[in-house]
Structure 1
Amino acid sequence: MKFGKWFELLLHHILPEWRDRYISYTFLKKRITLIEATRNDIIGADSNQDFLNTYEVDFINLLNVELDKINKFMEEKSRECNVRLQTLKERIEKVKNGYTQAMVMSSHERDEVVLLAKDLVNLHGELVLLENYNIWNFTGLRKILKKYHRRIGAFKGEHYIPWAKCQPFSSNEFILKILNECERILQSFLSVSFLGNNEDHGSLSRGMFQNENEKSVYESSIVALEILNEMTKFNSVYVDN
Structure 2
Amino acid sequence: MKFGKRLKKQVEESLPGWRDKFLAYKRLKVLVRLVSSSSPHRAAAEAAFVRQLHDEVDRFNTFFLEQEEEFIIRHKAVAGEEPSEAERAAQMRKVRREIVDLHGEMVLLLNYSAVNYTGWRRS
What's the TM-score bracket when you normalise by the shorter of the two chains?
A: 0.7 to 0.9
* Larger-gyration structure (1/2): 1
What is the 5 A alignment of 1:73-152?
73-91=63-81, 94-95=82-83, 98-99=84-85, 106=86, 108-144=87-123
Aligned residue-pair number: 123
The answer for the alignment partner of 2:13 in structure 1 is 13
Work out the CA distance in 2 between the residues paired with 1:30 and 1:127: 32
Contact 2:78/2:99 (<8 A) preserved? yes
Instruction: Report the Cα distance in structure 1 between the residues aligned to 2:46 and 2:27, rounded to whole angstroms.
Output: 16
Q: Give distance in 2, aligned partners of 1:64 and 1:36.
A: 16
SS at match of 1:90: coil
Which segments of structure 1 move beyond 3 Å, counting only runs of 4 or more?
30-33
CA–CA separation in structure 2 for the residues paired with 1:78 and 1:11 = 19
Q: Secondary structure at the match of 1:126?
A: helix
Trace 1:1-241 onto structure 2 (pairs within 5 A). 1-33=1-33, 35=34, 39=37, 42=39, 48=40, 51-91=41-81, 94-95=82-83, 98-99=84-85, 106=86, 108-144=87-123
Amino acid at match of 1:12: E
CA distance in 1, matches of 2:103, 2:35: 43
Structure 1 residue runs without a partner (length 5+) = 43-47, 100-105, 145-241
Structure 2, unpaired ranges of 5+: none
User: What is the alpha-carbon distance in structure 2 between the residues aligned to residue 126 and residue 2 of structure 1?
Assistant: 25
Q: Take 2:111 and 2:70, find their aligned partners in 1: how far apart are those partners?
A: 17
Q: CA-to-partner distance for each residue in 1:158-204, whole Å, 9 max, x for gaps?
A: xxxxxxxxxxxxxxxxxxxxxxxxxxxxxxxxxxxxxxxxxxxxxxx
Report the identity percentage. 30
Q: Give how far 1:55 is off.
A: 1.6
RMSD: 2.0
Shifted more, 19-28 versus 68-77: the winner is 19-28
CA spacing shift, 1:133–1:83, aligned 2, 3 Å: same
1:59-104 deviation line (CA, Å, top 9, x unaligned):
111111111110000111111101111111114xx13xx33xxxxx
**CA 1:57 to 1:143, structure 2 compared with 1: closer, same or farther past 3 Å?**
same
Deviation, structure 1 residue 36: 6.2
